[in-house]
Amino acid sequence: MRLLFVTQDEYPPFRADVVELFGRQMPARGHEIDWLMQAPDLGPDDRSPIRWLDNTVYLTRLPRGNGLLGRIMRNVHGLLGDLHVIPLAFRNRYDAIQVRDKFTAGILGLVAARLTGAKFFYWMSYPYPESKLDQVRNGFVSHPRLVWLKAQAMKLLLYRVILPACDHAFVQSERMREDCAKEGVEVQKMTPVPMGIHADQVMSAEAARPPDTESPVLLHLGLLMRLRQTEMLVRVLARVRRRYPGARLLYVGDGQALADRRAVEDEACRLGLSGAVEITGFLPMAEAWRHVEEADICFSPYYPIPVLESTSPTKLIEYMAMAKCIVANHHPEQTPIMAESGVGCTIAWDEEAFADKVLELLDDPQQACRRAALGPDWVRRHRTYDVIADAVDARYATLLSVPRVRPGTH
């Protein structure tokens, strides 16, 4: 298959499902993939296309800028970049065009596919329209009317044009497929593809260790977001320290906006825990995983709202692969994974329930270690990108075996 992949990820991409699945695994299976991405630091003398891994990448400029004007300029340049889809499709005659999480590009990719006889696939990793509407409702945006209008336009394009018209859609989870079906999209034209981890990053059961009960490190990996209420874990720490006063909380990551980080810092200050709470900021993935390896108990909290219930929790898989003790709340995907693997059981979204689960693990560290040791084997069998890529490759083979008549051949 020769595929044009248009993604909102900036060059060079860092998301595991983008880099591992399409940067490495698909080319290793014989697929030729061209990419269309934006580059923030692309200058007038920089060349395009370039080679990245075993792929050809066509780059378009993405200007840096803050404030309303900066956002408008980024959107304009994004549209100009998306317009490259059509000439690329005619020049290279792809078997399929795939667009990930972009809406104008989704329309242009659909048009280009129909004009050139290619299949058109859409990859939906997150419910962006619903997320923006939630941010507006919660007062998390500085221009709510503009964001509301943008979200409505995105929702209209996604559920009334792109998904109904595409040849197939890949979604993040079974719940996301159900949510899209409620919007009128045919269930049979959607395939859930969950998040995974590189096989080399899966440790052995022997990597599990009992949590330290003198100065346990509690860890959260990933974005800090007010929408996700990640500051709740500070209140959990306060409860845990009543019995284990040496406990500390480490956030490995940062906020999308300064206000997201400040929500955590303000809560720690309010509770007198500033010295026991640390935020590392964004780190290279290898360095972030070193922090996970050193942690005693890892949190996978997902605030129970629709936009988060349709996600595929990456951090849970990473924790399990590293044989960590885990505290996670009820979620359509992580609840069955925890139960099936034997790693543990999920709890309600409640700071007292979270604290009680942490205390349970610290009170019986040997039992906690035995459960943590079950994680790597389950991940190795179900969630490495080798396994996921085999399933995606098989789906492409099925989809491309049904020929589309190319213009001028009938």
Furthest-apart CA pair in the chain: how many Å? 76
Residue 410 domain-assigned (yes or no):
no
Q: Measured between alpha carbons, how far is 58 from 81 in angstroms, rounded to an integer?
A: 10
Residue 30 domain-assigned (yes or no):
yes
Residues 191, 278: one domain?
no
Residue 146 domain-assigned (yes or no):
yes
Residues 223, 185: one domain?
no
Residues 189, 211: one domain?
no
Other Cβ atoms within 10 Å of 117 Cβ, number: 17
Chain segment 285-311, per-residue pLDDT in tens: 889 999 999 999 999 999 999 999 999
* Predicted local distance difference test score (pLDDT) of residue 402: 53
Residues 146, 283: one domain?
no
* Average pLDDT for 316-343: 97
Residues 170, 210: one domain?
no
Residue 408 domain-assigned (yes or no):
no
Q: Measured between alpha carbons, how far is 114 from 109 in angstroms, rounded to an integer?
A: 9
List all residues 6 or more positions away from 25 whose beta carbon is below 8 Å from its beta carbon: 385, 386, 388, 389
Residue 406 domain-assigned (yes or no):
no
Label residue 166 by pLDDT band (50, 70, 90).
very high
Chain segment 206-262, per-residue pLDDT in tens: 999 999 999 999 999 999 999 899 999 999 999 999 999 999 999 999 998 899 999
- In total, how many domains does the chain have? 2
Which residue intervals of 271-384 are DSSP H helices? 285-294, 306-309, 314-321, 334-341, 351-363, 365-372, 375-382
Residues 393, 376: one domain?
no
For residue 88, which amino acid is it? L
Residues 245, 314: one domain?
yes
Residue 91 domain-assigned (yes or no):
yes
Q: For residues 189-217, b (16+ Cβ closer than 10 Å) or e, as one string?
A: bbbbbbbbbeeebbbeeebbbbbbeeebb
pLDDT at 362 over 90: yes
Residues 225, 357: one domain?
yes
* CATH number of the structural domain spanning residue 231: 3.40.50.2000
| Alpha carbon distances (Å) from 20 to 16, 109, 173, 333, 385 | 5, 23, 18, 21, 7
Could you tell me the two tokens for 343? 């790693």
pLDDT at 138 over 60: yes
Residues 106, 157: one domain?
yes
For residue 182, which amino acid is it? K
Could you tell me the two tokens for 369? 């270690």
Calculate ∠ Cα 387-393-398, nearest 5°.
135
List all residues 6 or more positions away from 398 whose beta carbon is below 8 Å from its beta carbon: none
Predicted TM-score (pTM) of this structure? 0.89
Residues 372, 240: one domain?
yes
Range of the structural domain that residue 21 is part of: 2-196+385-400
Residues 348, 288: one domain?
yes
* Predicted local distance difference test score (pLDDT) of residue 75: 79
Which residue intervals of 126-219 are DSSP H helices? 128-137, 144-157, 163-165, 174-182
pLDDT at 406 over 60: no
Residue 157 domain-assigned (yes or no):
yes
Residues 6, 45: one domain?
yes
Residue 374 domain-assigned (yes or no):
yes
